Amino acid sequence: MQVKINRNFDNLVTNYLFADVARKTAAYAAAHPGEKIIRLGIGDVTLPLAPVVVEALKRGADEMGLKETFKGYPEYEGYGFLRTAIADYYKSFGVKVSADEIFVSDGAKSDCGNIGDIFSRDNTVLVTDPVYPVYVDSSIMAGRNIIYASCNEQNGFVAMPDDSVKADIIYLCSPNNPTGAAFTFEQLREWVDYANRHDAVILYDAAYEAFVTEDLPRSIFAVEGARTCAIEFCSLSKTAGFTGTRCGYTVIPKELERDGHNMYATWYRRQATKFNGVSYPVQCAAAAVFSAEGQSQIRENLAYYQENARIIASALDELGVFYTGGTNSPYIWLKCPNGMGSWEFFDYLLQQAQVVGTPGEGFGENGAGYFRLTSFGDRDNTVEAVARIKRLLS
Ligand SMILES: *Cc1c(COP(=O)(O)O)cnc(C)c1O
């Protein structure tokens, strides 16, 4: 007998997107020393943690160093003080979620992928195209059938449900990575109604909810009917600069049932088996994000990124380039000018303006001919990159 590996891994398509971007950028830099390259392709935050968050992290570490306050294994679902703070945060924008429906985790990526553990292999998964690759690759690893809902210029990169399509598990991300497009309440309501009608479950990724500035949903639970069909993932990564600190949370309403099983109880059982929780200092830091002081401090960082996004978007407005995002999202998804392909535009921008972005086709077929810029960069660099882009395209 020989060990057999999960052959579903053979079905993963190797995505060279970020490797190719890095390789082409490095080659250009080597051939043109002294030229300043500006990177607007990064999907990672750059501003540091807020001061109250750092204080809480240190305080948590200090407590771990004293016999009286030392903590061993945390609760599987997260400390009560953090879950209560998260529930209060939801309440602050009018959404009712109870502290005992929240699971604290090390981030949204793990939960978005791991949630598949509680569903049978024989479910059809619907994702949008373009898409955050985690939903696709984790479904492939599980051997599930995947269908795509097209996002394009005609629908403003917002896909809507179709009753003739049978999907069991539906991944939605709003505001979206990579397109920056966000659902309205009415649009999200259509998905919720579809899921309830078809006994499907929506896996809703709200990682960018804190970037919403207009009157748009920041949680799927802001929509009536969502409590009987949705699970929500959220993260402090983009909200509060936790990409390197790691903390997220998942909400499963107590009344969500499928196939005779309670989804909260099933996920609890999964977590209790495979997960031993998030470290105490990190949970202290996360709770500090939701304090009044924490909220005002993280809002300063979010405002910085939002202003970068506005600067990029207003240049595209002037140039008459079609794009989505930028208003309720750190991402700007633009149509490559003059019918250029994604990689063609990447090379053009790199060679003529020394600006690096992300070719859209790395996120799915519908990304061909599109390009993603992000607002996570430095202000001066963003301003300079935008000036170069305007010079090049006007
Ligand atoms: C960045 C991001 C996340 C956050 O992942 P973490 O594991 O919490 O860092 C989740 N979903 C999307 C779509 C993202 O872009």
159-211 pLDDT, tens digit each: 999 999 999 999 999 999 999 999 999 999 999 999 999 999 999 999 999 99
Residue 321 domain flag: yes
* Residue 15: per-residue pLDDT: 82
Query: So what's the pLDDT on residue 338?
Result: 95
- Please check the confidence at residue 14 and state whether its pLDDT lies above 90: no
Q: Which domain holds residue 331?
A: 15-44+294-393
94: its two tokens: 């009018």
> Does any domain span residue 8?
no
pLDDT exceeds cutoff 90 at 262:
yes
CA distance 108 to 275: 14
Average of per-residue pLDDT across 28-51: 95
Report which ligand 1 atom has the smallest distance to the Cα of 108. 8
pLDDT at res. 43? 85
The mean per-residue pLDDT over the stretch 355-368 comes to: 97
- Nearest atom in ligand 1 to the alpha carbon of residue 242 is 9
Mutate to test the pocket of ligand 1, among 238, 249, 305, 333 (most ligand atoms within 8 A of CB): 238
What is the maximum alpha-carbon separation in the chain? 67
* Domain-ending residue, one of 290, 306, 321: 290
14 vs 385: which has the higher pLDDT: 385
**Domain CATH for 29:** 3.90.1150.10
Q: What is the pLDDT of residues 342-361, one digit of tens each?
A: 999 999 999 999 999 999 99
The verdict on 238 and 320 lying in the same domain is no
Q: Is 177 in the pocket of ligand 1 (CB under 6 A)?
A: yes
Report, in this order, helix, strand and coil percent for the chain, each rounded to 5.
Answer: 45, 15, 40
- For residues 55 and 25, state if they share a domain: no
Q: Are 231 and 201 in contact (CB under 8 A)?
A: yes
Task: Provide the percentage of residues in the chain whose pLDDT is more than 70.
Answer: 100
Q: Which of 261, 290, 319 is the C-terminal boundary of a domain?
A: 290
Domain closes at, from 263, 290, 317: 290
Q: Find the 134 Cα to ligand 1 centroid distance in Å.
A: 9
